[in-house]
A = this chain, B = another copy of it.
Amino acid sequence: MTSLVLPPEPHGRRERRVQELLFDIKDAALDQLAEGGDGLSYRAIAARLGVSRATLRYHFPSRDALIEALVADGVTTLARALRSSLDRTRSAPSERRWRAVAHAYRDWALRHRRHYRLLAGARADPVLAVFAELAGDDAALTVHAGLHAAVVREMDARPDTERFDAEVLDLVRLVDGYTA
């Protein structure tokens, strides 16, 4: 399972090769990110793929542009995971839906730690949209902040599902207080 957005079916072969290259570049970037160290070396990515730095630069004009693309992909796939768990529990009681979405969030974050860390501080509107559906527009940001805090703690420590669930319960009580 990847944390990248799969490209849509392309029209011609040329376009397809370009889409594949974009995917490969981002994939290599994530790989390098996952391998450790803090960095994300533009040069190393180019070398790994066997393309020139200039080629890389043609598609991603700067290192920040590459990271931006990774962030956008991350937000999209995270939001998809959340929405999927929301859809699957369409007819379930509210608490179950909350639990499902919260765990989807946590699972994605823990499964793609470095990618998730990249998302911190970024505008995550698609993600907020899912929370807004569950808790209302005003509470979406609070929910996000709360989940983020809970997940970040588990990144450094050992995951503790019981504790996580308790925190989610607190969060639900808070935002229920909003709408009630």
Contacts and interface: CB of A to CB of B under 8 A. Distances in A.
Interface of A: 120-121, 141-142, 144-146, 148-150, 152-153, 167, 170-171, 173-174, 177-178
A49 B62 CA distance: 31
> Which 5 residue pairs are nearest across A and B when measured between Cβ atoms?
A145-B149, A174-B174, A142-B149, A145-B145, A145-B146
A178 B163 CA distance: 13
A164 to B, nearest CB: 12
Contact of A173 (B144, B145, B167, B177): B177
25 contacts: A120-B120, A121-B152, A141-B149, A141-B153, A141-B167, A142-B145, A142-B146, A142-B167, A142-B171, A142-B174, A144-B149, A145-B145, A145-B146, A145-B148, A145-B149, A145-B152, A146-B146, A146-B149, A146-B174, A170-B174, A170-B177, A170-B178, A171-B174, A173-B174, A173-B177
By CB atoms of chain B within 10 A, which of A146, A152, A173 has the most? A146
Contacts of A144: 149
Nearest to A152: B121
Given A120-B120, A142-B146, 4 more contacts: A141-B167, A170-B178, A173-B174, A174-B177
A59 to B, nearest CB: 22
Contacts of A153: 141
A153 B124 CA distance: 12
A29 B149 CA distance: 28
